[in-house]
Amino acid sequence: MEVSFLQIALKVIGGLGIFLLGMKNMSEGLQAVSGDRLRKIIGVATNNRFLGVLVGLTVTMMVQSSSVTTVMVVGFVNSALMNLMQAIGVILGANIGTTITGWILVLDIGKWGLPILGFAAFVFLFSKNDRLRYVGMTIMGIGMVFYGLELMKNGFKPLRSHEEFSAWFHAFQATSYAGIIKCALVGMLLTMIVQSSSATLGITIGLACSGTIEFQTATALVMGENIGTTITALLASIGTSTNAKRAAYAHFFFNVFGTLWFIALFPVAIGGLSNLVEWKTGYNPQQVSLEQVATNTFPALPATSDTGELSISSILTHIQENNEISMAEAKTVQKKFDKVVTSGIALTHTTFNVANVLLFLPFIGLLARFVTKLAPEKEAKQSVHLTYLDVRMLDTPSLSIVQSQGQLNFMGESISIMLDKLHGCLESEKIDPEVQRKLFHREEILDTVQKEIFIFLSHLVSGQVPQEITKKAHKQMRMADEYESLSDYATNVLKGIKKLEDMGHPIDGPARQKLLALNDRVARYIARVNEHVKAENTKDLLSWATAEGAAITVQMKEFRRQHLERLQNEEVSPFFSLAFTDILNYYRRMKDHALNIAEVLAGEK
Structural domains in the chain, CATH included, are 5-374 (no CATH), 391-601 (1.20.58.220)
Q: Which of 531, 513, 525 is nearest to 423 (CA)?
A: 513
Q: Which of 408, 529, 502 is nearest to 457 (CA)?
A: 408
Mean pLDDT of 344-365: 85
pLDDT, one tens digit per residue, over 196-252 is: 777 788 788 877 877 778 888 888 888 888 888 888 778 777 777 788 788 888 888
Mean pLDDT of 337-355: 83
Answer yes or no: are the C-beta atoms of 228 and 186 closer than 8 Å. Answer: no
pLDDT surpassing 80 at residue 335: no
Calpha distance 7→12 (Å, rounded): 9
pLDDT surpassing 50 at residue 1: no
Please tell me the predicted confidence (pLDDT) of residue 305.
45
Residue 502 binned pLDDT confidence (cut-offs 50, 70, 90): confident
Q: Which of 341, 357, 179 is nearest to 261 (CA)?
A: 357
Q: What is the DSSP letter of 222?
A: H
Please tell me the predicted confidence (pLDDT) of residue 394.
65
Which residues have C-beta within 8 Å of that of residue 288, sequence separation ≥ 6?
215, 337, 340, 341
Answer yes or no: are the C-beta atoms of 600 and 485 closer than 8 Å. Answer: no
Q: What is the DSSP letter of 235?
A: H
Q: Which of 389, 400, 401, 397 is nearest to 465 (CA)?
A: 397
Mean pLDDT of 173-182: 81
Q: Which of 486, 382, 475, 380 is nearest to 442 (CA)?
A: 486
pLDDT surpassing 70 at residue 167: no
Please tell me the predicted confidence (pLDDT) of residue 171.
64
Buried b (16+ CB within 10 A) or exposed e, 432-452: eeeebeebeebbebbeebbeb
What region does 282 belong to: left with phi over 0, alpha with psi -120 to 50, or beta?
A: left
573 versus 451: the higher-pLDDT residue is 451
Please tell me the predicted confidence (pLDDT) of residue 523.
94
pLDDT, one tens digit per residue, over 428-471 is: 878 888 989 999 999 999 999 999 899 888 888 887 777 788 88
pTM score: 0.66
SS3 16: helix
Please tell me the predicted confidence (pLDDT) of residue 594.
94
Which range in 260-274, 333-347, 443-457 is most confidently predicted, on average pLDDT?
A: 443-457
pLDDT surpassing 80 at residue 399: no
410 versus 49: the higher-pLDDT residue is 410
Mean pLDDT of 83-102: 82
Average pLDDT taken over every residue of the chain: 79
SS3 43: helix
**Phi, psi at 43, each rounded to 5°:** -65, -20
pLDDT surpassing 50 at residue 8: yes
Residue 380 binned pLDDT confidence (cut-offs 50, 70, 90): very low
Please tell me the predicted confidence (pLDDT) of residue 311.
53
Mean pLDDT of 136-154: 81
Q: Is the dihedral of CA 291, 292, 298, 300 positive or negative?
A: positive
pLDDT, one tens digit per residue, over 280-299 is: 777 777 777 666 676 677 66
Calpha distance 357→88 (Å, rounded): 11
Q: Which of 47-51, 148-152, 579-583 has the lowest mean pLDDT?
A: 47-51
Answer yes or no: are the C-beta atoms of 141 and 27 closer than 8 Å. Answer: yes
Please tell me the predicted confidence (pLDDT) of residue 419.
93
Q: Which of 129-143, 371-385, 584-598 has the lowest mean pLDDT?
A: 371-385
Please tell me the predicted confidence (pLDDT) of residue 382.
42
pLDDT surpassing 60 at residue 160: no
The C-alpha R_g of the chain, in whole angstroms, comes to 32
Calpha distance 372→555 (Å, rounded): 55
Q: What DSSP letter does each residue of 60-125 carry, written as one string?
A: HHHHT-HHHHHHHHHHHHHTTSS-HHHHHHHHHHHHHHTTHHHHHHHSS-GGGHHHHHHHHHHHHH
Q: Which of 317-326, 406-415, 540-549 has the lowest mean pLDDT?
A: 317-326
Answer yes or no: are the C-beta atoms of 119 and 146 closer than 8 Å. Answer: no
pLDDT surpassing 90 at residue 550: yes
Answer yes or no: are the C-beta atoms of 601 and 471 closer than 8 Å. Answer: no
pLDDT surpassing 60 at residue 517: yes
Q: Which of 312-316, 372-376, 401-405, 562-566 has the lowest mean pLDDT?
A: 312-316
Please tell me the predicted confidence (pLDDT) of residue 304.
47
Calpha distance 353→103 (Å, rounded): 14
Please tell me the predicted confidence (pLDDT) of residue 307.
43
CA separation (Å) from 473 to 570, 572, 602? 52, 48, 14
173 versus 540: the higher-pLDDT residue is 540
